[in-house]
Amino acid sequence: MYAMAGTLHHDYLPSANWAEFELLGLRFWSSSVLQNIPGLTHAFTPLGYNMSQRSGADAGTTRFRYRELCRELQLDYTRLVWPEQTHGDAVAAVSVADTGMLPTVDGLITNTAGTVLMSFSADCPLVALYDRSTRAIGVAHSGRAGTLLRIPEKLVNKMNREYGCRSENLIAVITPGAKACCYEIGEDVYRALGNAPQIDKLFVRYDCERTYLDLIGYIAFQLLEVGLDPSSIHLPQHCTICDHRFHSYRRQGPGNGHGALLVSVGADA
């Protein structure tokens, strides 16, 4: 997707239009694309509101924030489900029987009204899907490892198989994450990219002696490959590495917490 260093070829894809809104005395994030879907509730949390139970000085009080945020968004905390996130490609279908953390998965889908899906990020982009016909939703943690394993593609395929969704009916919104402006990779990662078809030529940017990965572009490419309409793939305008309003492993270092995306569709949608 680069004709030459620094020239994006996926600029024609629409923006997710992430914008701040006030909640709990902080500036949370909302996508106008998701906001315009009737009955769908969502929020992407900011720096200063840690959602990780494994990272951050306040990780021990994270469950309180889960309850607090669900209450503020008028979502049922007892219906909240999140993946363990092992940087893999497993996607699980969840329903009313599921609650809390699901081990060994990085993606979740549901067609059950009221189920709340949550996924975590500190630079790794998150992919949210919504099907216009079935009202099914899905989320996936799509960092470098998971994207190389093609978790965006597998999220779409799982929704199509499980719920009879059709790729052309899906809306995809990608959260802020590490973008090609800042996502520098080393020689070891560059060599590993050789296993992914076309990624070396399409999604690597060169700037002097530095090499950068266009992870967002590779996610979008996979969504296009599995049949989503280009007009339905919405890319983030913010990079979490250089925008200090987001959690960033690259900028802050390890142990500094994670943001999260919550998505749910109500019964009256």
N- to C-terminal Cα distance for the chain? 37
> For residue 268, what pLDDT is reported?
63
Cα separation, 165 vs 161, in Å, equals 7
Structure confidence at residue 11 (pLDDT): 76
Q: Which helix (H) or strand (E) holds 60?
A: none
Sequence-ordered strand ranges (E) for the chain: 18-23, 26-31, 40-44, 80-83, 91-93, 100-102, 107-110, 116-121, 126-131, 137-141, 170-174, 204-207, 210-213, 233-234, 259-265
pLDDT value, residue 203? 85
Per run of 10 residues, the mean pLDDT along the chain (length 269 residues) is 43 94 97 98 98 96 98 98 97 95 98 98 98 98 94 98 98 97 90 71 82 93 95 98 98 97 86
Supply the pLDDT for residue 209: 84
pLDDT of residue 7: 37
Q: What is the pLDDT of residues 50-63, one digit of tens each?
A: 999 999 999 999 99
pLDDT at 6: 38
pLDDT at 195: 67
pLDDT attached to residue 206: 84
- pLDDT value of residue 224: 95
- pLDDT value of residue 190: 82
pTM above 0.85, yes or no: yes
Contact criterion met (CB below 8 Å) for 107 and 158: yes
Structure tokens at 123: 């630079």
